[in-house]
Amino acid sequence: TTALGTLLRCFPCERLCGGCTVPPAPPRPPGALPPAMRPPRRRLPPRTFRSYLPRSHRTYSCVHCRAHLAQHEELISKSFQGSHGRAYLFNSVVNVGCGPVEQRLLLTGLHSVADIFCQSCKTTLGWKYEQAFESSQKYKEGKFIIEMSHMVKENGWD
């Protein structure tokens, strides 16, 4: 029976074989599962965004999850102030969702705005100007503010 047990199960390699030259495995800590019984590693699904911007263009992405947000060509101004610091004004953005519209008294007057958030990680990025009540501010309507602290430059920046 000793030879039969050796043929059926090789203790050093924990497989069925007729004997091997594999050095014995180090002892497992108490309560640890044998290698064959360990749960498989959990693989995260690949990140998918609603829109991908071309790799050849300079882009701005979410600093938290790297979702594409805007192309450099859509940048209107770098001299805006967000709720928590400097911000950029963009003509259009991608991969963002809008919250409810509300009226806010900003540095440049009363505006109807909707907070925007990253569609992937749900971080609030800035806001969208829905309506400006002063004639000098009408150019902002339909434009987007993204705070610099929530975005990173990618692709082709020197």
For the whole model, what pTM was predicted?
0.64
Q: Measured in whole angstroms, how far is the alpha carbon of residue 20 from the centre of its chain?
A: 48
The answer to whether 89 and 70 have CB atoms below 8 angstroms apart is no
Task: Please list, in sequence order, all residues whose beta carbon lies within 8 angstroms of the beta carbon of residue 117, skipping any fewer than 6 positions away.
Answer: 96, 97, 99, 123, 124, 125
Task: Please identify which residue in the block is written with the tokens 């074989």.
Answer: 17
Q: How many CB atoms lie within 10 A of CB 96?
A: 22
Predicted pLDDT at 28: 67
Q: What region, left, alpha or beta, does residue 6 occupy, with left being phi > 0 and alpha being psi -120 to 50 degrees?
A: alpha
Domains of the chain: 58-155 (2.170.150.20)
Question: pLDDT of the chain along its 158 residues, tens only?
Answer: 455 444 555 555 555 555 555 555 666 677 666 655 555 666 545 555 565 655 657 889 999 888 889 998 999 999 999 888 999 999 999 999 999 999 999 888 899 999 999 998 999 999 999 999 999 999 999 999 999 999 998 866 55
